[in-house]
Structure 1
Amino acid sequence: MRNILKATTLENKFPLFTVENGCIVSKDADITVAFRVELPELFTVTAAEYEAIHSAWNKAVKVLPDYSIVHKQDWFIKENYAPDIQEDDLSFLSRSFKRHFNERPFLNHTCYLFLTKTTKERSRMQSNFSTLCRGFLVPKEIK
């Protein structure tokens, strides 16, 4: 019996080609640059500061060249607060404050921004074309 299945490797299916000069290059010649973004904590900015941050994001997106993709990814990791209580220059209130929150859980937030430069043909592809977004892995034609 002849084997008609075509074997492949994970490297052949992986969409990334290489990482050079801090840029991620895909097999389709898309170039991506990644940044770690420091954002203020929730509810710590005034309405005017929030508007300023929002307008800065809008201006930054508007100056990008055509066929650019912006992907913002937020990571929230549950961690326990671990202060340095052994510092010598802490006042009584500061030391008590740190002891009060010692080992209490909190969400540590990290934000990443990915800017991708693609081509006109690639930009027409829709994100729901991926098997990750379809909701089923086996194509309807095979069922």
Structure 2
Amino acid sequence: MTPDTASRNSFQSSELSRSSADVFAAASDHPVEVTRRDGESLVLMSESENRARNSLLELAAQLIAVSTSLEGTLGERMSDHFPWMLALSPEGRETCATDILAAARASFATGQAHLALAELTSWRETATALAAGLGHAPVEWLDEDEPVERP
């Protein structure tokens, strides 16, 4: 695959049969358009890209549902749709809601689904850790000069 091929966003359908490896390699990095003379163009993308886009659409649907309700704070409304948020403190829920909404807006504006999905996953994992009791134990910090023994 040449550098020009890797960064291309569009291929003719004839290139798919002549140099399918190049087209598939580009499609594994980003969605590519396959133009056809006899019909509408097609988009070729990886399964993970498709899953990310579907997840982003699901998140959009949930955020629209949250925004249509006027009762309670944003954190309270989002907790109804994302029950794992109940493991967070009330202040944490508000921060979480604001952060997820900002990341979702960035994802929608840039077409980069991973921004919102990473933020959502990060907050869900934080809530899961808090629910498991992590975060309440005192942290033992190591001195920079103190060597760490092997287990």
Q: Normalised by the size of structure 1, how large is the TM-score?
A: 0.23
Bigger radius of gyration = 1
Higher strand share: 1
Q: Which has the higher contact order (CA 8 A, sep 6+)?
A: 1
Q: State the TM-score, normalizing by the size of structure 2.
A: 0.22
Structure showing the higher helix proportion among its residues: 2
